[in-house]
């Protein structure tokens, strides 16, 4: 199994789709890191560096979109969302501008750069905005599908990407459906984990570990956080005895909250939210941090094992 | 500019001022002071300069206008109504729940509004985006924007200024309405943004400094901007907040308050008297 960072898959997909001349790409001095530089190499005339000025970048994107462009604006997730939040709200979401905010370096697997650069609240603040679609792919293949979905969506999209090279979980033949969750492990009805981003791989690893102990876990990839697949959530909550959510994000406002919102209205269910427990990250290698914050496969398995006792 | 053109612009600006008072009064809230200070610039753009009309409101080649100081929507709506983008009587529905005339300009609902604004500092960035698109598509439309002097306290204005100069956006022309007042008082007391012209110059813009109520100066500056190559133009326009309604002039307190019935009558009396004088003068033109 190969490894691909979702940011690499993003840059590649963007360059490939770049033959559509409506596409314009903006970056805030991070194009080599966000991989929009790959697009720039292919389509230099339609890539504009906005410098270290994310607020201006988002509002410029809205201006470009008002003329019929499809604009992809990239930076690290912390700066793309938190710093430019109000520009995204008023210049992009309010007029439903056709801007795709593709943010890399989300979550704690940013690693050594530390807490200042590890975005753990971006899903929360992006999904609260009217008109915004929120997508969080787990591997390179799913990323390409999400970039295509963003391109085909008329309106704002937030695409959450990672820095770390992660295991290819799917392949070129995998069929994804817009707005639909995807069952990736189906070992039984002891628990279901709704996971997003890199936590899909970690949750699958947890399910594999627990299978060896006779605990049957189902894992569902919720790459479309908004709109969210209510049907798959409710259906699996009904079938299983225990609902878990898993994300490389704060347990406040992210996937865990989104799943709880669905279940509290449709089928009140007890939910274990696994993620960053209302705390900032820190410097370290991605693997060390996943372990420290209990987000690696064996930690996730342990939490479920304990809860089921 | 010949006398007839000047007379027409004065008449248009007076109609816009009347629309501002009538609409803000009907809404019982809104921003008359800064709307009145930009009425002449808006009149020049919509009645002389810009290649826009209701028939081609979606024409990709049309000139664009971005009201970065979005709270002055009554001036923009007042001009759009006079140009026939929507019925004048609808101005009386400004800010109402069942109206398309949002409190701040909404491109989604208001015919003729190119971009939604309201949050200060963002409009000029939006204008930069439209200007970049114009260059990319090799279109010769021009992008006009009006900022407030208080608005220049927003850091984003200077991010946008840096970006416009960097990309040599000579198709962009931004007015700064320097009426010297913001909600909390004189700009120089609240947070001094001056000297604004020097700041734009330092950021690489061509700068013109004018009297924002003198149509000849407005025209000269706009014409000059069109000849400048490789640089955006900032027109620093000295204006009077509340211009045209004596009791509102130069008073920060009229930034965001609607006149009551009595004050409305007094304001309209003054505007209508000026309009009547213009009409008499017009017969001689």
A176: its two tokens = 């994804």
Cβ neighbours of residue B2 closer than 8 Å, sequence gap 6 or more: none
Domain that holds residue B191: 3-282
In a shared domain, residues A68 and A157: yes
In chain B, where does DSSP find H-type helix?
A: 3-27, 32-37, 39-44, 73-82, 122-136, 155-166, 187-190, 196-202, 215-227, 261-284
Taking an 8 Å cut-off on Cβ atoms, the answer to whether B122 and A24 are in contact is no
- pLDDT score recorded for residue B125: 98
Q: Minimal Cα–Cα distance from B88 to chain A, Å?
A: 24
Q: Which sequence positions of A are flagged as catalytic? A: 54
Residue B182 has pLDDT above 80, yes or no: yes
Cα–Cα distance, B255 to B33 (Å, whole number): 5
- Summarize the confidence of residues B245-261 as an average pLDDT: 96
Residue B47 DSSP label = I
Nearest C-alpha neighbor of A146 from the set A30, A297, A12, A282: A12
A24 lies within 8 A of chain B by CB: yes
In a shared domain, residues A157 and A268: no
pTM above 0.95, yes or no: yes
A190: its two tokens = 């002891």
B172 lies within 8 A of chain A by CB: no
Domain boundary (A141, A167, A193) is at A167
In a shared domain, residues A189 and A159: no
Domain boundary (A134, A167, A200) is at A167
First-residue to last-residue Cα distance in chain B: 13
Residue positions counted in chain A: 309
Q: With respect to residue A173, please indicate whether it lies within any of the assigned structural domains.
A: no
Residue A57's CATH number: 3.40.50.970
Cα–Cα distance, A44 to B231 (Å, whole number): 22
Nearest C-alpha neighbor of A83 from the set A108, A104, A55: A55
Cα–Cα distance, A206 to B32 (Å, whole number): 63
DSSP codes joined into one string, A73-142: EEEEHIIIIIITHHHIIIIIITTT--EEEEEESBSGGG-TT-GGG-BSSHHHHHHTSTT-EEE--SSHHH
Number of domains present in the structure of chain A: 2
Q: With respect to residue A114, please indicate whether it lies within any of the assigned structural domains.
A: yes
In a shared domain, residues A152 and A191: no
B197: its two tokens = 């012209």
Name every chain B residue with its beta carbon within 8 A of the beta carbon of A63.
66, 115, 125-133
Q: Minimal Cα–Cα distance from B251 to chain A, Å?
A: 29
Domain that holds residue A150: 3-167
Cα–Cα distance, B199 to A123 (Å, whole number): 38
Interface test with B, best of A28, A56, A130 (most B CBs within 10 A): A56
Confidence band for B284, pLDDT divided at 50, 70 and 90: confident
A48 lies within 8 A of chain B by CB: yes
Of B116, B127, B136, the CB nearest to A94: B116
Taking an 8 Å cut-off on Cβ atoms, the answer to whether A63 and B132 are in contact is yes
Q: With respect to residue A175, please indicate whether it lies within any of the assigned structural domains.
A: no
In a shared domain, residues A117 and A190: no
Q: With respect to residue A174, please indicate whether it lies within any of the assigned structural domains.
A: no
- pLDDT score recorded for residue B85: 98
- pLDDT score recorded for residue A105: 98
In a shared domain, residues A27 and A154: yes
pLDDT digits (tens, 9 = 90+) for B131-170: 999 999 999 999 999 999 999 999 999 999 999 999 999 9
Per-residue pLDDT of chain A (309 residues; tens, 9 = 90+): 799 999 999 999 999 999 999 999 999 999 999 999 999 999 999 999 999 999 999 999 999 999 999 999 999 999 999 999 999 999 999 999 999 999 999 999 999 999 999 999 999 999 999 999 999 999 999 999 999 999 999 999 999 999 999 999 999 999 999 999 999 999 999 999 999 999 999 999 999 999 999 999 999 999 999 999 999 999 999 999 899 999 999 999 999 999 999 999 999 999 999 999 999 999 999 999 999 999 999 999 999 999 998
A110: its two tokens = 């940013």
Q: With respect to residue A262, please indicate whether it lies within any of the assigned structural domains.
A: yes
Residue B182's CATH number: 3.40.50.970
Q: Minimal Cα–Cα distance from A24 to chain B, Å?
A: 9
B167 lies within 8 A of chain A by CB: yes
B20: its two tokens = 């501002």
Taking an 8 Å cut-off on Cβ atoms, the answer to whether B122 and A90 are in contact is yes
Cα–Cα distance, B148 to B72 (Å, whole number): 10
Interaxial angle between packed helices B155-166 and B122-136, expressed in degrees from 0 to 180 and rounded to the nearest 10: 10
Name every chain A residue with its beta carbon within 8 A of the beta carbon of B107.
66, 95
In a shared domain, residues A202 and A260: yes
Q: Minimal Cα–Cα distance from A93 to chain B, Å?
A: 11
B182 lies within 8 A of chain A by CB: no
- Summarize the confidence of residues B85-99 as an average pLDDT: 98
Confidence band for B121, pLDDT divided at 50, 70 and 90: very high
Cα–Cα distance, B278 to B12 (Å, whole number): 11
Residue A246's CATH number: 3.40.50.920
In a shared domain, residues A127 and A218: no
Sign of the Cα torsion A15, A19, A23, A26 reads positive
pLDDT digits (tens, 9 = 90+) for B18-27: 999 999 999 9
B273: its two tokens = 């008297």
Cα–Cα distance, A229 to B75 (Å, whole number): 46
Domain boundary (A143, A167, A191) is at A167
First-residue to last-residue Cα distance in chain A: 34
Confidence band for B223, pLDDT divided at 50, 70 and 90: very high
Number of domains present in the structure of chain B: 1
- pLDDT score recorded for residue B282: 85
B283 lies within 8 A of chain A by CB: no
- pLDDT score recorded for residue A241: 83
Size of interface A-B (CB pairs under 8 A): 103
Cα–Cα distance, A227 to B117 (Å, whole number): 27
- pLDDT score recorded for residue B283: 81
């Amino acid at each position: 199994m190969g490894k691909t960072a979702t940011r690499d898959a993003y840059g590649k997909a963007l360059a490939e789709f770049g033959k559509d001349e409506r596409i314009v790409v903006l970056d805030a001095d991070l194009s080599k890191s966000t991989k929009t530089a790959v697009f720039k190499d292919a389509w230099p005339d339609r890539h504009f560096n906005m410098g270290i000025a994310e607020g201006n970048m988002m509002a410029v994107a809205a201006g470009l979109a008002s003329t019929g462009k499809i604009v992809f604006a990239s930076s690290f997730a912390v700066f793309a969302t938190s710093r430019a939040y109000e520009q995204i709200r008023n210049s992009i979401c309010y007029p439903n501008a056709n801007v795709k905010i593709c943010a890399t370096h989300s979550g704690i697997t940013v690693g050594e750069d530390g807490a200042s650069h590890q975005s753990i609240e971006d899903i929360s603040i992006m999904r609260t905005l009217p008109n915004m679609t929120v997508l969080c792919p787990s591997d390179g293949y799913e990323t390409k599908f999400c970039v295509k979905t963003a391109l085909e969506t008329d309106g704002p999209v937030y695409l959450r990407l990672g820095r770390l090279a992660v295991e290819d979980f799917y392949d070129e033949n995998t069929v994804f459906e817009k707005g639909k969750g995807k069952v990736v492990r189906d070992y039984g009805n002891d628990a279901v984990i709704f996971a997003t981003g890199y936590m899909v791989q970690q949750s699958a690893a947890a399910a594999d570990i627990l299978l060896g102990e006779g605990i049957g876990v189902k894992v569902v990839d919720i790459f479309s956080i908004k709109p969210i697949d209510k049907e798959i959530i409710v259906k699996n909550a009904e079938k299983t005895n225990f609902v878990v959510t898993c994300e490389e994000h704060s347990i406040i406002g992210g996937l865990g909250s989104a799943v709880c919102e669905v279940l509290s209205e449709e089928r009140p269910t007890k939910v274990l939210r696994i993620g960053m427990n209302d705390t900032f990250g820190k410097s370290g290698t991605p693997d060390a941090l996943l372990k420290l914050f209990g987000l690696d496969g064996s930690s996730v398995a342990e939490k479920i094992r304990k809860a089921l006792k | 500019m010949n006398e007839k053109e000047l007379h027409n612009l004065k008449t248009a600006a007076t109609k816009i001022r009347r629309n501002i008072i009538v609409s803000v009064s009907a809404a019982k809230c809104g921003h008359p002071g800064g709307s009145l200070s930009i009425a002449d610039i808006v009149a020049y753009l919509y009645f002389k300069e810009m290649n826009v009309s209701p028939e081609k409101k979606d024409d990709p080649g049309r000139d664009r206008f971005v009201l970065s100081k979005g709270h002055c929507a009554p001036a923009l709506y007042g001009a759009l109504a006079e140009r026939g983008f929507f019925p004048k009587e609808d101005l009386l529905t400004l800010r109402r729940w069942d109206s398309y005339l949002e409190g701040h300009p909404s491109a989604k609902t208001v015919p003729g509004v190119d971009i939604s604004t309201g949050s200060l500092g963002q409009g000029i960035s939006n204008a930069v985006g439209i200007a970049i698109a114009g260059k990319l598509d090799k279109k010769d439309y021009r992008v006009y924007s009006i900022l407030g002097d208080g608005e220049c306290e927003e850091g984003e204005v200077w991010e946008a200024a840096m970006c416009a100069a960097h990309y040599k956006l000579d198709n962009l022309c931004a007015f700064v309405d320097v009426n010297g007042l913001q909600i909390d008082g004189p700009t120089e007391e609240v947070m001094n943004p001056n000297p604004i012209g020097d700041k734009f110059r330092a950021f690489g813009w061509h700068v013109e400094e004018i009297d924002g109520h003198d149509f000849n100066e407005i025209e000269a500056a706009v014409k000059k901007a069109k000849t400048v190559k490789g640089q955006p133009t900032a027109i620093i326009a000295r204006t009077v907040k509340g211009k045209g309604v004596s009791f509102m002039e130069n008073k920060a307190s009229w930034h965001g308050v609607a006149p009551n019935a009595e004050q409305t009558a007094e304001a309209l009396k003054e505007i209508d008297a000026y309009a009547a004088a213009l009409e008499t003068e017009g017969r001689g033109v």
